[in-house]
Every structure is written in C-alpha cells, then in structure tokens.
Structure 1
Amino acid sequence: MPTLHRADTVTTYDDHQPARNNSSPALLLVHGHPFDRSLWLPQAEHFATQGFRVVVPDLRGYGQSTGPAVTTLRDFTDDLIALADHLGLDRFVLGGLSMGGQIAMQTIADHPGRVEALLLANTFPSAETPEGKTQRRATATRVEQEGMPAYADELLPKMLSARTRTDNPQVTRHVHTMMRTTPPAGAAAALRARAVRPDYRRTLSDIRVPTLVTTGSEDEFTPVADAQLMHRLIPGSTLAVLEGAGHLPNLESAAEFNDVFGRFLHPLRREPDPQAEER
C-alpha cells in the first residue's frame, strides 16, 4: 500500500497503472464525506483497463491517511497537489464527488494549470448558509462525542436511493461500512472546514477545461437543480443525470456512470504512435 510521508502528514493512496502503455492523462479521483478511497474502486478498476492511470487517495483524516486536522478545504487541495508532484503528474483529470467535488473546485481555483479536465459529481458550489454552518458544527461535535455508527445509520437512507438499498445489498453494505469506520476526528474536522467554505460559483464561470457534471435523479443532498446550475455556469460543460441513483451513482449505477465518464474521457485518450515506436 503506497503512502506519501510529508512533514506530519501521511497520505495513503492506490495507484492503478494502465493495462497498456500510452500517454493518456492520469485520473486523480477524490472521495467525499464520510468515505475513503474505496468509493472509487469501480472506476479505478475499469479505467485502468481502458488505458488510464488512476490515482485514488484517502483524504487527510479519512481512511488510512493521517495528519493535522484540516481547517479549510485548501488543506485538502495542498495534499492533492503534493501527491501529484510526488507521482510526477504535471497535469491530470481531476474528479471529485460531493465534498470531493468542492475540493476539486478549490483545486482548480488555486491550480488551474494542473487540471486537464474536470468531473464534478453530486456536488454543489454555493457557500454554506448560516443554518448549515450551525448544523455542520453541531454534527462535528456529536461525532467526536458519540463516534460514527449512529451518524452512519442516519445517513445511509439519504446517501442511497430506495432502489439501491433494496436491489443492491453489496453496495449498501460497502457504503455503510465506509461511513461507520471513518475516523471521527477526521470527519469532524472536515465538517467544520466545509462550514466555512467559499462560494465557488465564480470559480465555475472561470473554468476553461472540459467538465462533466453528474448527479443522481434521486439525490437528496445535491438535487438535479444544483447540477443544472453548475452546468449553466461552466462554459461548454456536459451534464448527465443518472436515473434511479442517489448521492453515489458511481457505486449505485457503476456501469452507467463508467459509460458516461468514459465517453467524456474519450477525446482525451492519447494512444501511442506505432510508427514512432518503430523509429
């Protein structure tokens, strides 16, 4: 299991190498709250077979990554850029789901030259409301005091559509396990950081790279209207709504999500030139 040690921060990640050599851009995929890098396993395995290098880290305080508590989403961005530097990724396709999408927005705002294309899945750009700030801070205190199990039990029916919970017990168990086993301190720190996140709507209007916006038709956290707003704000973006999925369509409707993402990535594929290899 590879790790990046940097000062007092340890970033754990998986680096899925492509099944064949080419110069297609690497994918750097960022999980949301309260999950870990296994959130992206269906995409990592699939797109590695399609010729893409896929890097999936645990965010600081999640999974097996450790470090000082984050205070803003920029802390996560700094960790991602450090990992990209460590792996020699000058430019990459950046994808993020939910909180991971907000981290992706912060990353492209701070480092626009590093991002070749962007996936914003089941996320939203607006700053937190006063009521939302109060709720996030209260939840942070609660998970510190009580741990994650009860919080995970409450979140599960909001994370996944009713269809998924009925028809896909394997995904349901995976999601529930990720949430229950997230370190409470990391979850609490991220909740407080999200409470003070900036408004990213201006950032979206400034994006000049290919961007795919996705959501699930049954998503309670980021409804279709949020995705439509982002689609309108990002010049030339593509919008995909996955029918019947909730907040995690990359797991709930993995084949359909991979198809949508794959079609978006197709123009970025750069296969080797056989004649150049012969020379």
Structure 2
Amino acid sequence: MSTWSSEGITLGYGDEGSGDPLVLVHGHPFDRTMWRPQVEHFSRAGWRVITPDLRGYGESTVAPGKTTLEAFARDIAGLLDHLGVDRFILGGLSMGGQIVMEFHRLFPGRIRGLLLADTFAAAETEEGRTWRYEMAERLLREGMAGYAEEVLPKMVAPHNIQALPAVAEHVLAMMSGTSPEGAAAALRGRAERPDYTDMLREIAVPTLVVVGSDDEFTPVEDARLIHDRVPDATLAIINEAAHMPNLERPAEFNAALGRFLDSLATPVAAGR
C-alpha cells in the first residue's frame, strides 16, 4: 500500500499503470477496492489509474466528527499534488460522484473529463438530513454489520446477489469493514452538502453519466437530470445492475467508460 500524509491525515491509495491519469473516487461505505475491475482493465489499457481511500475509509485515517465533501476534495487535491498530477480525468460513484462535483467547484481547471456514476446533484432535503444524522448515531451505537446486511440488496440487485456471490461478498465486506466513526463523519458532512444542480450547466469538460437500471438509491431519473443539465454529456444506463454497476456488470461499465476515455485521448505506454 502507498500512503500520503498531511496535517495529521494519512491516505492510502493505489497508483497503477502509466499514461494519462484517471482518478476514481469510491462511494460510501466502501473503499478503493470497489474499483478493482476498472483498475485492472484500464491500467492494462494504457491509463494511470489512481484510487484513493477517502479519510475515514479503507486504509486511511479515521476522522471522527464531521467530514465535509470539501474536506474529501481537498484531500484528493493534496494527494495529486504529491503525485505530480496536474490535470486528469476524475470519476466517482455515489458519494464519490458528489465529491467529484465538489472538486469541480473548487478546482475546475484541473479536470479534463468527468465520470458521474449513480450519484445525485441536489442538496439534501430536511427529511434526508434528519435521516443522515440519525444513521450516524446508529452506526456509532451498533457498528456497521447490521446496516451492511440491511442495505446490501439495494447496493447490489437481489438477482445479482444470487448470481454473483463473490461480488455480493466483496460489497458486504467493504461495508462491514468500514469504521463506524468514519462513516458517521461522512454522513454528517453529506447532510450539509451544497446543491450542485445549477453548477452542472457550468461544466465545460466532457462528462459521462452512468447509472444502473435498477438503482434505488439514485435512480435513472436522477442520472437523466444530471445528463440533461451538463452540456453535451453522455448517458450510459447499465442494465440489470443496481447501485454498483462497475462491480455488478464490469464489462458493460468498462465498455462505456472506455468509449468515453477513447474520445478524450489516446492512452500511451509512457513512463510517469
């Protein structure tokens, strides 16, 4: 594992392949291993794939209290500065997609292209804020195991839990293994997230919007809203997948992402 530290926070990260940089941001309550099929595929295809563990997740420092999307985005910017990566293609799924939107708000000039997967652009509702605060307290009281079992059939489509047991086990293990303190901090931060809807019209780089056809957390309608507002965005709906299409249907997800990446640049097998 590679690590980078700044101001008391250490981030674990993966950095594989060479060529144009592709940075992938995981969702909640996962870690960078959720991108394993994409790392394996695109690092072999001539891309440098960088996958951070967000603070509070995976092998990164647990940060109790509240972690805002801005804090996550600035962590990623610091890591990329450390790696000498100035401009890159940035993608994220679910909370990772919201971090991508926040990164664009803060550092639009660093981004060459965007991947927004199974995510939601609007601010949290009052009901949603209450739910996130209450869930944060529940995770601190009970731990992650019960929550992980409860939401697994929404993260991974029920038919895929049966047909793809290794995928279901991976998703369950990521959720169960996440620090309750880190997850709670992120929930509190997301409860107070800004509304990115108006900003979508200001995105001036190529953007790919991806969603699983059976996603209940961020359904196809949410993806269509993002697609319709981002100028010249591309929409890919991954059939027979729920909230984790990159794991449930990796071939289809990689094909959609690959077409998008090919439209931006031709990967080269050059040194870093």
Which TM class, normalised by the smaller chain length?
over 0.9
1:151-184 per-residue CA deviation (whole Å, 9 max, x = no partner) reads 1010101111122111100000000000000000
Equivalent-residue separation in structure 2 for 1:89 and 1:39 (angstroms) = 22
Q: Return the index of the structure with the highest Cα Rg.
A: 1
1:217-238 per-residue CA deviation (whole Å, 9 max, x = no partner) reads 1000011100000000000000
Task: Point out the more displaced range, 126-135 or 69-78.
Answer: 69-78
2:21 maps to what in 1? 26
2:111 maps to what in 1? 115
Structure-2 change in CA distance of 1:271 and 1:141 (3 Å): closer
What is the TM-score normalised by the length of structure 1? 0.94
Does structure 2 conserve the Cα–Cα contact (< 8 Å) formed by 1:8 and 1:68?
Answer: no
Does structure 1 conserve the Cα–Cα contact (< 8 Å) formed by 2:62 and 2:179?
Answer: no
1:9 to 2:9 alignment: yes
1:199 to 2:195 alignment: yes
1:25-84 per-residue CA deviation (whole Å, 9 max, x = no partner) reads 201100000000000010011000110000001000001100544431100000000011
Count of residues paired in the alignment:
269
1:44 maps to what in 2? 39
Deviation at 1:142, TM superposition (A): 0.4
Deviation at 1:270, TM superposition (A): 3.4
- Unpaired segments ≥5 residues, structure 2: none
Structure-2 change in CA distance of 1:98 and 1:271 (3 Å): closer
Q: Which of residues 218, 230, 238 in structure 2 aligns to 1:222? A: 218
Deviation at 1:271, TM superposition (A): 5.1
Equivalent-residue separation in structure 2 for 1:158 and 1:95 (angstroms) = 22
**Percent of aligned pairs with the same amino acid:** 53
Equivalent-residue separation in structure 1 for 2:267 and 2:121 (angstroms) = 35
Q: Give, as a single letter, the amino acid of the residue that structure 1 aligns with 2:45.
A: Q
Does structure 1 conserve the Cα–Cα contact (< 8 Å) formed by 2:143 and 2:180?
Answer: yes
1:141 to 2:114 alignment: no
Q: Considering only aligned residues, what root-mean-square deviation do their CA atoms show, in Å? A: 1.4
1:244 to 2:233 alignment: no
2:259 maps to what in 1? 263
Equivalent-residue separation in structure 1 for 2:82 and 2:174 (angstroms) = 27
Structure-2 change in CA distance of 1:57 and 1:239 (3 Å): same
What is the TM-score normalised by the length of structure 2? 0.96
1:92 to 2:78 alignment: no
Structure-2 change in CA distance of 1:262 and 1:68 (3 Å): same
- Unpaired segments ≥5 residues, structure 1: 19-23
Q: Give, as a single letter, the amino acid of the residue that structure 1 aligns with 2:8.
A: D
Q: Structure 1 segments of 4 or more deviating over 4 A?
A: none
